[in-house]
Amino acid sequence: MRALKEHRIVDVPEPEPGEVLVEVRHISANHGELRHPRIGGHDAAGIVLGGPGKGRRVVAFGPGAWAERAVFPASSVAEVPDGLDLAEAAALPMAGLTALRTLRAAGPVLGRRVLVTGASGGVGRLAVQLARLAGAHVIAQARRGAGLRELGADEVVSSLDGVAPVDVVLDLLGGPYLVRAWELLTPGGTVQSIGWASGEPAAFTSLFALGAARSIHSFGDVSEPGPDLAVLVDLAASGLLSPSVGWRGSWERVGEAADALFAGRVSGKIVLDVT
Protein backbone atom coordinates (compact mmCIF):
# COMPACT_ATOMS: atom_id res chain seq x y z
CA MET A 1 0.00 0.00 0.00
CA ARG A 2 3.06 2.27 0.00
CA ALA A 3 2.10 3.90 -3.29
CA LEU A 4 -1.24 5.02 -1.87
CA LYS A 5 0.40 6.63 1.14
CA GLU A 6 2.62 8.88 -0.94
CA HIS A 7 1.38 12.43 -1.26
CA ARG A 8 2.08 14.34 -4.43
CA ILE A 9 2.13 18.12 -4.25
CA VAL A 10 1.01 19.51 -7.58
CA ASP A 11 -0.12 22.92 -8.83
CA VAL A 12 -3.82 23.63 -8.46
CA PRO A 13 -5.20 22.78 -11.89
CA GLU A 14 -7.08 25.37 -13.94
CA PRO A 15 -10.31 24.30 -15.66
CA GLU A 16 -10.44 24.67 -19.43
CA PRO A 17 -13.76 25.44 -21.15
CA GLY A 18 -16.05 22.45 -20.66
CA GLU A 19 -14.31 21.43 -17.44
CA VAL A 20 -15.04 21.99 -13.76
CA LEU A 21 -12.61 22.44 -10.89
CA VAL A 22 -13.83 20.64 -7.78
CA GLU A 23 -12.74 21.10 -4.19
CA VAL A 24 -12.85 17.46 -3.20
CA ARG A 25 -14.38 16.73 0.22
CA HIS A 26 -14.76 12.94 0.02
CA ILE A 27 -13.40 10.18 -2.16
CA SER A 28 -14.27 6.54 -2.49
CA ALA A 29 -11.84 3.65 -2.86
CA ASN A 30 -12.78 0.69 -5.01
CA HIS A 31 -11.57 -2.91 -4.93
CA GLY A 32 -9.52 -2.65 -8.12
CA GLU A 33 -7.92 0.65 -7.11
CA LEU A 34 -6.75 -0.81 -3.81
CA ARG A 35 -5.68 -4.13 -5.33
CA HIS A 36 -3.73 -2.38 -8.11
CA PRO A 37 -2.75 1.11 -6.79
CA ARG A 38 -1.28 2.11 -10.16
CA ILE A 39 -4.87 2.41 -11.42
CA GLY A 40 -5.44 5.48 -9.20
CA GLY A 41 -8.73 6.73 -7.78
CA HIS A 42 -11.83 7.81 -9.68
CA ASP A 43 -14.63 8.71 -7.25
CA ALA A 44 -15.03 12.15 -5.67
CA ALA A 45 -17.64 14.50 -4.26
CA GLY A 46 -17.17 18.14 -3.40
CA ILE A 47 -17.90 21.75 -4.27
CA VAL A 48 -17.40 23.34 -7.70
CA LEU A 49 -14.74 26.04 -7.43
CA GLY A 50 -14.50 26.95 -11.10
CA GLY A 51 -16.33 26.32 -14.37
CA PRO A 52 -20.07 25.62 -14.86
CA GLY A 53 -22.09 25.32 -11.64
CA LYS A 54 -19.68 27.22 -9.41
CA GLY A 55 -20.60 26.73 -5.74
CA ARG A 56 -22.71 23.62 -6.41
CA ARG A 57 -22.33 20.30 -4.59
CA VAL A 58 -21.30 17.66 -7.11
CA VAL A 59 -20.26 14.05 -7.50
CA ALA A 60 -17.58 13.33 -10.07
CA PHE A 61 -15.93 10.38 -11.78
CA GLY A 62 -12.56 10.29 -13.49
CA PRO A 63 -8.81 9.78 -13.19
CA GLY A 64 -7.11 12.13 -10.74
CA ALA A 65 -10.12 12.24 -8.41
CA TRP A 66 -8.05 11.51 -5.31
CA ALA A 67 -6.82 15.04 -4.74
CA GLU A 68 -7.78 18.09 -2.71
CA ARG A 69 -8.68 19.85 -5.96
CA ALA A 70 -9.36 18.08 -9.21
CA VAL A 71 -10.51 18.98 -12.72
CA PHE A 72 -13.15 16.89 -14.46
CA PRO A 73 -14.94 17.20 -17.82
CA ALA A 74 -18.35 18.76 -17.16
CA SER A 75 -19.82 15.55 -18.67
CA SER A 76 -18.30 13.54 -15.81
CA VAL A 77 -20.03 15.47 -13.03
CA ALA A 78 -23.57 15.54 -11.62
CA GLU A 79 -25.14 17.86 -9.08
CA VAL A 80 -25.90 16.25 -5.73
CA PRO A 81 -29.52 16.90 -4.73
CA ASP A 82 -30.37 18.43 -1.36
CA GLY A 83 -30.89 15.71 1.17
CA LEU A 84 -28.04 13.50 0.02
CA ASP A 85 -24.87 13.72 2.07
CA LEU A 86 -21.76 14.43 -0.02
CA ALA A 87 -19.94 11.52 1.61
CA GLU A 88 -22.71 9.15 0.56
CA ALA A 89 -22.65 10.58 -2.96
CA ALA A 90 -18.90 9.92 -3.14
CA ALA A 91 -19.59 6.20 -2.68
CA LEU A 92 -21.61 5.95 -5.88
CA PRO A 93 -19.58 6.62 -9.05
CA MET A 94 -17.49 3.55 -9.93
CA ALA A 95 -19.62 0.97 -8.15
CA GLY A 96 -22.92 2.56 -9.14
CA LEU A 97 -22.02 3.06 -12.80
CA THR A 98 -20.89 -0.55 -12.95
CA ALA A 99 -24.05 -1.93 -11.37
CA LEU A 100 -26.35 0.34 -13.41
CA ARG A 101 -24.70 -0.23 -16.76
CA THR A 102 -24.29 -3.99 -16.48
CA LEU A 103 -27.89 -4.36 -15.41
CA ARG A 104 -29.01 -2.28 -18.39
CA ALA A 105 -26.78 -4.32 -20.70
CA ALA A 106 -28.52 -7.48 -19.48
CA GLY A 107 -31.84 -6.19 -20.86
CA PRO A 108 -35.25 -5.99 -19.16
CA VAL A 109 -35.29 -7.93 -15.89
CA LEU A 110 -38.91 -7.42 -14.81
CA GLY A 111 -39.97 -10.75 -13.34
CA ARG A 112 -36.65 -12.37 -14.27
CA ARG A 113 -34.25 -14.16 -11.94
CA VAL A 114 -31.09 -12.12 -11.47
CA LEU A 115 -28.11 -13.56 -9.59
CA VAL A 116 -25.51 -11.21 -8.10
CA THR A 117 -22.31 -12.90 -6.95
CA GLY A 118 -20.09 -11.13 -4.42
CA ALA A 119 -23.25 -9.28 -3.39
CA SER A 120 -21.98 -8.08 -0.01
CA GLY A 121 -19.40 -5.72 -1.54
CA GLY A 122 -19.47 -2.23 -2.95
CA VAL A 123 -20.79 -3.07 -6.42
CA GLY A 124 -22.91 -5.97 -5.20
CA ARG A 125 -24.99 -4.02 -2.70
CA LEU A 126 -25.86 -1.45 -5.33
CA ALA A 127 -26.55 -4.14 -7.95
CA VAL A 128 -28.96 -5.96 -5.64
CA GLN A 129 -30.91 -2.76 -5.03
CA LEU A 130 -31.00 -1.68 -8.68
CA ALA A 131 -32.06 -5.14 -9.85
CA ARG A 132 -34.87 -5.13 -7.32
CA LEU A 133 -35.90 -1.62 -8.38
CA ALA A 134 -36.04 -2.91 -11.98
CA GLY A 135 -38.49 -5.62 -10.92
CA ALA A 136 -36.20 -8.65 -10.81
CA HIS A 137 -36.32 -11.61 -8.47
CA VAL A 138 -32.88 -11.14 -6.92
CA ILE A 139 -30.63 -13.92 -5.69
CA ALA A 140 -27.67 -12.51 -3.75
CA GLN A 141 -24.62 -14.72 -3.24
CA ALA A 142 -22.30 -13.74 -0.40
CA ARG A 143 -20.43 -15.55 2.35
CA ARG A 144 -21.40 -12.62 4.59
CA GLY A 145 -25.03 -12.07 3.66
CA ALA A 146 -26.12 -9.75 6.48
CA GLY A 147 -28.33 -6.88 5.38
CA LEU A 148 -28.86 -8.10 1.82
CA ARG A 149 -32.52 -9.00 2.31
CA GLU A 150 -33.12 -5.52 3.70
CA LEU A 151 -31.63 -4.13 0.47
CA GLY A 152 -34.12 -6.13 -1.60
CA ALA A 153 -32.66 -9.59 -2.17
CA ASP A 154 -35.36 -12.27 -2.43
CA GLU A 155 -32.87 -15.05 -1.75
CA VAL A 156 -29.50 -14.87 -0.01
CA VAL A 157 -27.15 -17.80 -0.57
CA SER A 158 -23.61 -18.41 0.55
CA SER A 159 -22.73 -20.73 -2.32
CA LEU A 160 -24.13 -21.32 -5.81
CA ASP A 161 -24.87 -24.99 -5.08
CA GLY A 162 -28.61 -25.59 -5.20
CA VAL A 163 -29.48 -22.26 -6.85
CA ALA A 164 -32.28 -22.72 -9.42
CA PRO A 165 -31.58 -21.55 -13.01
CA VAL A 166 -31.28 -17.80 -13.53
CA ASP A 167 -31.84 -15.47 -16.48
CA VAL A 168 -29.12 -12.94 -15.68
CA VAL A 169 -25.92 -13.04 -13.67
CA LEU A 170 -23.91 -10.04 -12.54
CA ASP A 171 -20.67 -11.80 -11.63
CA LEU A 172 -18.18 -9.98 -9.43
CA LEU A 173 -16.16 -13.00 -8.36
CA GLY A 174 -14.90 -14.68 -11.53
CA GLY A 175 -13.00 -18.00 -11.45
CA PRO A 176 -15.15 -20.96 -10.40
CA TYR A 177 -18.08 -18.62 -9.68
CA LEU A 178 -18.07 -17.50 -13.30
CA VAL A 179 -18.04 -21.10 -14.49
CA ARG A 180 -20.91 -22.04 -12.16
CA ALA A 181 -22.84 -18.90 -13.13
CA TRP A 182 -22.61 -19.91 -16.77
CA GLU A 183 -23.96 -23.37 -15.94
CA LEU A 184 -26.91 -21.82 -14.09
CA LEU A 185 -28.06 -19.73 -17.07
CA THR A 186 -31.41 -20.40 -18.71
CA PRO A 187 -31.42 -20.58 -22.54
CA GLY A 188 -31.12 -17.02 -23.85
CA GLY A 189 -29.67 -15.84 -20.54
CA THR A 190 -26.68 -13.59 -20.07
CA VAL A 191 -23.71 -13.26 -17.73
CA GLN A 192 -22.17 -9.87 -17.15
CA SER A 193 -18.59 -10.67 -16.16
CA ILE A 194 -17.56 -7.67 -14.07
CA GLY A 195 -14.80 -8.70 -11.71
CA TRP A 196 -12.51 -11.34 -10.30
CA ALA A 197 -12.75 -10.70 -6.57
CA SER A 198 -12.36 -14.43 -5.80
CA GLY A 199 -8.84 -14.39 -7.24
CA GLU A 200 -9.32 -18.06 -8.09
CA PRO A 201 -8.57 -19.61 -11.51
CA ALA A 202 -11.42 -20.61 -13.79
CA ALA A 203 -11.75 -24.03 -15.40
CA PHE A 204 -13.94 -23.62 -18.46
CA THR A 205 -13.82 -26.55 -20.84
CA SER A 206 -16.46 -25.33 -23.28
CA LEU A 207 -19.36 -22.90 -23.39
CA PHE A 208 -21.47 -25.53 -25.14
CA ALA A 209 -25.16 -25.31 -24.25
CA LEU A 210 -28.34 -26.51 -25.95
CA GLY A 211 -31.20 -24.15 -26.80
CA ALA A 212 -31.28 -20.39 -27.38
CA ALA A 213 -27.85 -18.81 -27.26
CA ARG A 214 -26.55 -17.78 -23.88
CA SER A 215 -24.09 -14.89 -23.78
CA ILE A 216 -21.26 -13.58 -21.67
CA HIS A 217 -20.23 -9.94 -21.67
CA SER A 218 -17.29 -7.98 -20.37
CA PHE A 219 -17.74 -4.60 -18.72
CA GLY A 220 -15.43 -1.63 -18.81
CA ASP A 221 -17.30 1.26 -20.40
CA VAL A 222 -17.46 4.16 -18.00
CA SER A 223 -17.49 6.86 -20.68
CA GLU A 224 -19.77 9.93 -20.40
CA PRO A 225 -20.72 9.14 -16.81
CA GLY A 226 -22.53 12.41 -15.96
CA PRO A 227 -26.13 11.43 -16.85
CA ASP A 228 -25.86 8.08 -15.07
CA LEU A 229 -24.27 9.75 -12.03
CA ALA A 230 -27.36 11.98 -11.94
CA VAL A 231 -29.59 8.89 -12.01
CA LEU A 232 -27.68 7.37 -9.10
CA VAL A 233 -27.65 10.45 -6.85
CA ASP A 234 -31.36 11.07 -7.57
CA LEU A 235 -32.22 7.51 -6.55
CA ALA A 236 -30.11 7.86 -3.41
CA ALA A 237 -31.57 11.28 -2.52
CA SER A 238 -35.09 9.89 -2.84
CA GLY A 239 -34.26 7.01 -0.52
CA LEU A 240 -34.55 4.31 -3.19
CA LEU A 241 -30.83 3.46 -3.25
CA SER A 242 -28.58 3.14 -0.22
CA PRO A 243 -24.94 3.92 -1.05
CA SER A 244 -24.14 1.32 1.64
CA VAL A 245 -21.01 2.86 3.13
CA GLY A 246 -19.27 0.13 5.11
CA TRP A 247 -16.08 1.94 6.14
CA ARG A 248 -15.39 5.64 6.60
CA GLY A 249 -12.35 7.55 7.78
CA SER A 250 -9.71 10.10 6.81
CA TRP A 251 -7.93 9.56 3.50
CA GLU A 252 -4.75 9.32 5.58
CA ARG A 253 -6.10 5.89 6.59
CA VAL A 254 -6.39 4.46 3.10
CA GLY A 255 -3.94 1.65 3.90
CA GLU A 256 -6.02 0.64 6.89
CA ALA A 257 -9.16 0.67 4.76
CA ALA A 258 -7.50 -1.56 2.15
CA ASP A 259 -6.36 -4.03 4.82
CA ALA A 260 -9.90 -4.16 6.20
CA LEU A 261 -11.40 -4.72 2.73
CA PHE A 262 -9.10 -7.59 1.85
CA ALA A 263 -9.48 -9.17 5.28
CA GLY A 264 -13.26 -9.33 4.68
CA ARG A 265 -14.07 -6.72 7.33
CA VAL A 266 -15.85 -4.24 5.03
CA SER A 267 -19.37 -4.82 3.75
CA GLY A 268 -20.12 -2.14 1.20
CA LYS A 269 -18.27 0.96 0.11
CA ILE A 270 -15.17 2.64 1.51
CA VAL A 271 -15.47 6.42 1.80
CA LEU A 272 -12.46 8.55 2.74
CA ASP A 273 -12.74 12.12 3.98
CA VAL A 274 -10.25 14.57 2.48
CA THR A 275 -8.93 16.07 5.68
Q: Which residues bind ligand NAP (CB under 6 A)?
A: 30-32, 94-95, 98, 118, 120-124, 142-144, 172-173, 194-199, 219-220, 261, 264
Task: Report in angstroms how near the CB of residue 195 gets to ligand NAP at its nearest.
Answer: 2
Task: Report in angstroms how near the CB of residue 156 gets to ligand NAP at its nearest.
Answer: 10
Among all residues, whose Cβ is closest to ligand NAP?
121
Q: Which is nearer to ligand NAP, 25 or 125 (CB)?
A: 125
* Distance in angstroms (rounded) separating the CA atoms of residues 152 and 105: 21
Task: Report in angstroms how near the CB of residue 143 gets to ligand NAP at its nearest.
Answer: 3
Q: Which is nearer to ligand NAP, 20 or 257 (CB)?
A: 257
Q: Which is nearer to ligand NAP, 51 or 246 (CB)?
A: 246
Task: Report in angstroms how near the CB of residue 20 gets to ligand NAP at its nearest.
Answer: 23
Q: Which is nearer to ligand NAP, 95 or 272 (CB)?
A: 95
Q: Which is nearer to ligand NAP, 54 or 265 (CB)?
A: 265
Helix axis angle for 226-237 and 93-105, nearest 10°, is: 100
Task: Report in angstroms how near the CB of residue 17 gets to ligand NAP at its nearest.
Answer: 29
Task: Report in angstroms how near the CB of residue 198 gets to ligand NAP at its nearest.
Answer: 4
Task: Report in angstroms how near the CB of residue 12 gets to ligand NAP at its nearest.
Answer: 29
- SS3 labels along the chain: CHHHHCCCCCCCCCCCCCEEEEEEEEEEECHHHHHCHHHCCCEEEEEEEECCCCCCEEEEECCCCCCCEEEEEHHHEEECCCCCCHHHHHCCHHHHHHHHHHHHHCCCCCCCEEEECCCCCHHHHHHHHHHHHCCCEEEEECCCCCCCCCCCCCEEECCCCCCCCEEEEEECCCHHHHHHHHHHEEEEEEEEECCCCCCCCCCCCCCCCCCCCCEEEECCCCCCCHHHHHHHHHHHHCCCCCCCEEEEEEHHHHHHHHHHHHCCCCCCEEEEECC
Q: Which is nearer to ligand NAP, 50 or 175 (CB)?
A: 175
Q: Which is nearer to ligand NAP, 109 or 194 (CB)?
A: 194
Q: Are 77 and 20 a contacting pair, CB within 8 Å? A: yes
